[in-house]
């Protein structure tokens, strides 16, 4: 699909069990803002399309360092607008937006900036929300992203300190409830052994204070990325997926 920042490949997942126009979920993969591989979310997208009887649009957005902020951010804004169009073969008036890791950051940032189309629910799974914090100053339990790697990811996406303070890069930085009164309802998933857990928990608290938090799902036994972690069984992943999907289905009903 075309965007103001060039064409973007989107992978489309759809349920064959429904003939009428389905709701749509725009998915943003993780990868530290530098890995372009939406196929990593193949299992999640298939699960969601089936469980929610929905169309899932998984976005292969541009990645750093060749394409730093705000390129991916603006591409996703345009994808949301495109997905919400009444000319699509799904019901764009029933739209959710979510992402994992860096994708969760992008989803939160687009929602906080004011989505270009109505979003009924945002799903933020283990997102980095404040890139102004030096990764070396974050907790580092077993399973967390190594500080040197997180620092490299952050610098590639937002090369300057002033840029990392932009709300489009760090949607959780110095945020208050009054800043989130108009954002979509949110589901937040956090991993207990993740250096990003504290900032995710803080953001969930502010969402709750603003009356925008639907559910906070905690996976205490997992490092960053419970669904890509060998410490979490497939059955446990399915359990979490089902809990998230139930909220998506309700939000888009």
Active site (catalytic) residues? 101, 194, 224
Q: What are the residues whose beta carbons fall under 8 Å from the beta carbon of 215, sequence distance 6 or more?
A: 187, 188, 243, 247
DSSP 95-148: EEEEEETHHHHHHHHHHHH--SS--SEEEEES----TTS-GGGS---TTSPPHH
End-to-end CA distance of the chain: 27
Strands 213-223 and 185-193, bridge-based pairing: parallel
Q: What angle do CA 121, 108, 73 make, to 5 degrees?
A: 115
Quick one: which H or E segment has residue 83? helix 71-83
What would you measure as the largest C-alpha separation in the chain, in angstroms? 51
Looking at the chain, how many residues does it have?
253
Rounded to 10 degrees, the C-alpha dihedral 34/67/73/21 comes to: -80
Cα separation, 128 vs 197, in Å, equals 9
Q: Are 201 and 207 in contact (CB under 8 A)?
A: no
């Amino acid at each position: 699909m075309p965007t103001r920042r060039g064409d973007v490949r989107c992978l489309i997942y759809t349920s064959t069990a429904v003939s009428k126009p389905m709701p749509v979920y725009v998915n943003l993969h993780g990868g530290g803002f530098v890995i372009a591989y939406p196929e990593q979310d193949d299992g999640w997208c298939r699960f969601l399309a089936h469980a929610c009887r929905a169309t899932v649009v998984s976005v292969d957005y541009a990645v750093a360092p060749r394409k730093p902020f705000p390129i991916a951010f603006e591409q996703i804004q345009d994808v949301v607008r495109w997905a919400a169009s009444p000319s699509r073969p799904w019901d764009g008036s029933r739209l959710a937006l979510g992402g994992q890791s860096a994708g969760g950051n992008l989803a939160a940032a687009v929602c906080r900036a004011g989505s270009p189309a109505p979003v009924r629910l945002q799903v933020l799974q283990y997102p980095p929300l404040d890139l102004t914090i030096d990764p070396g100053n974050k907790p580092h339990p077993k399973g967390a992203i190594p500080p040197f790697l997180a620092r490299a990811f952050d610098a590639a996406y937002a090369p300057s300190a002033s840029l990392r303070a932009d709300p489009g890069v760090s949607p959780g930085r110095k945020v208050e409830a009054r800043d989130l009164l108009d954002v979509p309802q949110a589901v937040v998933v956090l991993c207990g052994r993740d250096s990003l857990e504290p900032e995710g928990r803080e953001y969930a608290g502010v969402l709750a204070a603003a009356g925008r938090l639907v559910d906070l799902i905690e996976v205490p036994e997992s490092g960053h990325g419970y669904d890509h972690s060998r410490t979490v069984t497939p059955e446990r992943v399915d359990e979490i997926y089902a809990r998230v999907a139930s909220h998506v289905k309700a939000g888009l009903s």
